Amino acid sequence: MAELPTVADVARAILDASKSFNPRPGTSIPMLAVFLKLSERGFVSDELNAGFASMQADGLIEPSGNPRFFRLTEAGFAAM
């Protein structure tokens, strides 16, 4: 039986998927593009939403002012 990914696993996958945008701290990253990349790898929206929420609580990402994007913080960039 396959194990479900932990929130930490999902957060790591989000950071890894975000790398394709060659981000820097403060860069806005399209949330839908990250969702699509990870849904192709088998992640479901509940897992991704929990991952994004955890990353925001941990200060790795922040809202961009546009709900379709998120911003990578200095801490998030360092975690990549």
Q: Is the pLDDT of residue 2 over 80?
A: no
Residue 29 domain-assigned (yes or no): yes
Residue 11 domain-assigned (yes or no): yes
Instruction: Decide: residue 79, CB within 10 A, 0-12 exposed, 13-18 middle, 19+ buried.
Output: middle
Residue 34 domain-assigned (yes or no): yes
* pLDDT for residue 30: 96
> Residue 66 carries which DSSP code?
S
At 12, list the tokens.
């790591």
* pLDDT for residue 3: 84
* pLDDT for residue 27: 87
CATH of residue 25: 1.10.10
Read off the pLDDT of residues 52-66 as tens digits, 9 standing for 90 and up.
999 999 999 999 999
Instruction: Decide: residue 38, CB within 10 A, 0-12 exposed, 13-18 middle, 19+ buried.
Output: buried
> Is residue 31 a contact partner of residue 68, using CB atoms and an 8 Å limit?
yes
Indicate the number of domains in the chain.
1
Residue 54 domain-assigned (yes or no): yes
pTM: 0.92
